[in-house]
Homo-oligomer: A and B are copies of this chain.
Amino acid sequence: MKEVVTGIDIGGTNTVLGLVDRDGNILAGDSLLTGSYPDVADFVKAIADSVKKMKQKAGDVEIKGIGIGAPNGNYYKGTIEQATNLVWRGVIPIADMIEKETSIKVVLTNDANAAAMGEMIFGAAKGMKDFIVLTLGTGLGSGIVVNGQMVYGHTGFAGELGHMVIVPNGRACGCGSHGCLETYASATGLVRTVLLLMSEMRDNTPLRNIPPAQLTSKMIAEEAAKNDPVALKAFDYTAEKLAIGIANSVIFSSPQAVFLFGGLVNAGELLFKPLRQYIDKYVMPWYRGRFEVLPSGIKEANAAVLGAAALAWNEIL
C-alpha cells in the first residue's frame, strides 16, 4: 500500500485537490468551484467526497494526512481568517471541520507559505535551510524559511513581504497602507506602472489603445518582448522596486536563495536582467554574491497542490 497525502489549494475561484506521494507525483486530482458552496459545511462535505473519489481512483493507497494552502490561512489555529476573496466571512475553522469529516489529520497554512514548503520538499530549495519564496501574482505573497523552519511569528501571519513599505506615502494598497511592495511588484502593480509611465512618457505604444481596466501584465510582457519603450520601462521600474524589496529581505534573514514564482516570472529575462542589476545596486555590498535570485523549481500548474501536500509531508509525519 502506497503512502500518500492529500494537497488542497483553496482559491477564490477554484479549489484544487491532489493525492501526492513522497516524491511529488500526483496520483489523482480533482477540483471544485469554491464559490458554489456559500455554506462552508457543504464545501467540507464536497472536499470529503472528493478525497474518497481520488482514493478510489488511485487504487491501493493510504492517505497519511491532508495539507491545505488557503488565503489568510492561520497555521497555528487551522483557520481561514477574514479572507476577502472567499465567500465565507469571519474566522472559519476549516482544518478542524475537514478533519472531523474525513477522520484524517489536517494541517493548514497560507498559500505563499505552502509554495515555500513545496519548494523545500519538491522544488529547487531541496536541502536549503534558509530561503525565501516570493509569489508574484495579482499581489505579492511570501514564504520565509529560517533554519529549516517556516517563519510563522507570534501571530501566525509572518511573511507579509508584499506589504513592506517601499515608497512612503506611495500607491494605495488593498491592505489600507500606502507604498507597499505589492502595489509595484505584482501583475496589478505592473499595470499601474504602465499607466504612470504613459502619463510621463511621450512615446507611442499600442498599450494606449487598451482600456486600463482591460490591461494585463501578459499584454505588457508581449509588448516588451517587441521592444515597446513603455513596456520595457515598466519592467525596469518593477524590477527596481522588487530589487529593493529583495535587498531588504536578504539583510533580514540572509537566505541562500530567493525564489520567484508566479505570472510575472514568466516574463523571464525581461524581469530578471534588470532585477539582478538593481539588486547589486541596492543590496548591502557585503551580501553581493552571497545569495541567489532564481525562478521557482516547481511547475506552475502543479505548484499549489504540491505546496499543500509538502506541508502535510513535512508537518504530519
Contacts and interface: CB of A to CB of B under 8 A. Distances in A.
A133 to B, nearest CB: 14
Interface in A234-285: 240, 244, 247-249, 251-256, 282-285
Which secondary structure characterizes the binding site on chain A? loop
A175 B285 contact: yes
A191 to B, nearest CB: 22
A208 interface: no
Interface string A142-179: 00101101011111111111011100100000011100
Contacts of A284: 160, 163, 175-177, 180
Given A153-B146, A154-B291, A155-B290, A165 B282 contact: yes
A73 to B, nearest CB: 14
A129 interface: yes
A130 interface: yes
A253 B151 contact: yes
A99 to B, nearest CB: 24
A252 B144 contact: yes
A313 to B, nearest CB: 20
Interface string A18-56: 000000000000000000000000000000000000000
B153 A130 contact: yes
B285 A177 contact: yes
B285 A159 contact: no
B163 A251 contact: yes
Interface string A273-306: 0000000001111110011000000000000000
Contacts of A144: 252-253
Given A146-B153, A247-B165, A254 B130 contact: no
A283 to B, nearest CB: 7
Nearest to A180: B284
Contact of A149 (B128, B147, B159, B161): B147
Contact of A254 (B149, B154, B165, B168): B154
A251 B130 CA distance: 18
A120 B15 CA distance: 42
B248 A165 contact: yes
A283 B154 contact: no
Given A154-B290, A176-B285, A177-B282, 6 more contacts: A130-B158, A147-B149, A154-B254, A159-B254, A164-B248, A176-B284
24 contacts: A130-B158, A146-B146, A146-B151, A147-B147, A147-B151, A147-B152, A151-B252, A153-B253, A153-B255, A154-B255, A154-B256, A154-B290, A157-B254, A157-B286, A158-B254, A159-B254, A161-B251, A163-B284, A164-B252, A168-B240, A175-B284, A177-B283, A180-B284, A252-B252
Interface of A: 128-130, 144, 146-147, 149, 151-161, 163-165, 168, 175-177, 180, 240, 244, 247-249, 251-256, 282-287, 290-291
